Amino acid sequence: MTRDSNISRRKTMKLAGATAATALVAGCSSDDGDGNDDSDSDGGEGPYAIDPDTEIMFRADSLSWYGKNPSEIEDVENPTLQLQEGESYTIGWDEGDGQGHNIELWDENGDPIEATETTSDEAPDDQTIDFEASSDIVEYVCQPHASSGMRGDIEMQ
C-alpha cells in the first residue's frame, strides 16, 4: 500500500488540533471593531453621568468595586463615573468581604487627594468621602487592592 501524501495521519491530527486551538484563541481575543471591550471582567463600563449631591456607594470585593447607588451603576464592576466639576458628591462603600479595604480619590500621578482608613469591617459606616469634583481627581481606588484592579475612572463634565 502506498501513500498519496507525505503527511502521516498522526501529523494531520496534530495540525488539525493546532488549527482548532489557534481559531479558539483568535475568537476569544477578536475585536468586533466597535471600540468597546465586551468583557465584563475588567469593568470600567460607562461613563455614567452622576447628578451633583449624589451619594455614590459601592460593594467592596478584593478584585473590584461593584456599584450599589445610584441605580445607574448598580452591580456594574468598576464603573467609570462622570461628575460635574465644582459640584459636591459623596463616594464610599458600605458592604465588604472581610478583607481590608479603603477608598481613595487619586490624581493623574497616582497620589491620593482624599482617603479613608483601611478597615476589614464588612458593614462599615465610616468609609465615605465628601468632596468637590475637580479635574485633579481621575480615579477612585482601594489602595490595598489597587494592583488587583479594584479601581475605577472618574471623568469631569
pTM: 0.72
CA gap 69, 77 in Å, rounded: 12
**pLDDT reading at 28 higher than 70:** no
Instruction: Give residue 62's pLDDT band: very low, low, confident or very high (50, 70, 90).
Output: confident
Q: Which pLDDT score, from 0 to 100, does residue 45 have?
A: 75
Of 34-43, 54-63, 73-82, 110-119, the range with the lowest mean pLDDT is 34-43
What does the block give as the cell for 34? Answer: 466597535
pLDDT tens, residue by residue, 72-123: 999 999 999 999 999 999 999 999 999 999 999 999 999 999 999 999 999 9
CA gap 77, 153 in Å, rounded: 11
Cis peptide before 70 (omega within 30 of 0): yes
Topology classification of domain 48-156:
Immunoglobulin-like (2.60.40)
Instruction: Give residue 43's pLDDT band: very low, low, confident or very high (50, 70, 90).
Output: low
Q: Which pLDDT score, from 0 to 100, does residue 44 have?
A: 62
CA gap 108, 119 in Å, rounded: 25
